[in-house]
Amino acid sequence: MNKKMRFYAIAVMICLSATCFGQEKFFELKFHGEDRSFIYAQMESVVRPGKQYINIKFKGKTRQQLVAAVLKYIRDRPAYVLHDADSTGASAFAGIPHISYRDFRLVCPEKTCKADIVALAYIHIYFAGDTVNVNLQMDTEIYATIFKAKLRITPEGKVASDDDLPFNVLMLVRPESKVKVGKFKNSSDGDAYPDSIFDSKGNILNQPAKEALELYYNDLMNDLKSYITNYLQKQK
């Protein structure tokens, strides 16, 4: 991860201010038992219960208009990488046209969230009539490092660190066993997993990380929705 991938705090502050003025809340991170990796948290906690997809309706618009808007959106966001689309602008999954792209960024630094927290978010968009259906569950992972590792995406699309410094998938719920290896030998897991958001009883341990992740995902969706709305208005 290069220096241009700055702390998300500036964007978070913008998003926080915007949220106060009525931006929609799509995500809330909640405790659901012992599932410890963020991918499970997404499936059960981040997306509001019972919603596999975020459905955003643009009344009266065609699928072609929505595909064009999403492709323009991705082109106008240099940090995003188009992951899956064909020459028509959307490949088919189970017969449904879709576009996938990814975002990779530092969501929160160690000084604020007890570890550097980095998101690799895959945004899958499916088009059905005048509705955009967004799925962020598939392929998305959140990483954490307490070793100041600089993370990057390899040509194969994998996450690696410069100089092979340690990093791992964010443990949403902190384990309670004793650590036996590495820097924190014979220390508590509170030392080894300072970035964990909940303890095993659901108590919040890392409020800044919880808020940063919620703001990050809410901002992804609000930015997409706002861009498409403005784009379509200009096409009239």
Torsion, Cα 93 95 96 98, to 10 degrees, reads 40
Q: Give the separation between CA 172 and CA 42, rounded to whole angstroms.
A: 10
What pLDDT does residue 51 have?
59
Per-residue confidence (pLDDT) for residue 65, from 0 to 100: 94
The pLDDT value recorded for residue 118 is: 95
Q: What's the pLDDT at 160? A: 95
Q: What is the pLDDT of residue 85?
A: 64
Q: Which fold has domain 36-234?
A: Alpha-D-Glucose-1,6-Bisphosphate; Chain A, domain 4 (3.30.530)
Q: What is the pTM of this model?
A: 0.77
Query: Could you write out the DSSP letters of every residue in 164-197?
Result: G---EE-BSB---SPP-SGGGTTS-HHHH-TT-S
Task: List the domain boundaries for the chain.
Answer: 36-234
Residues of the chain with pLDDT under 70: 1-22, 32-52, 85-96, 177-191
pLDDT at 186: 42
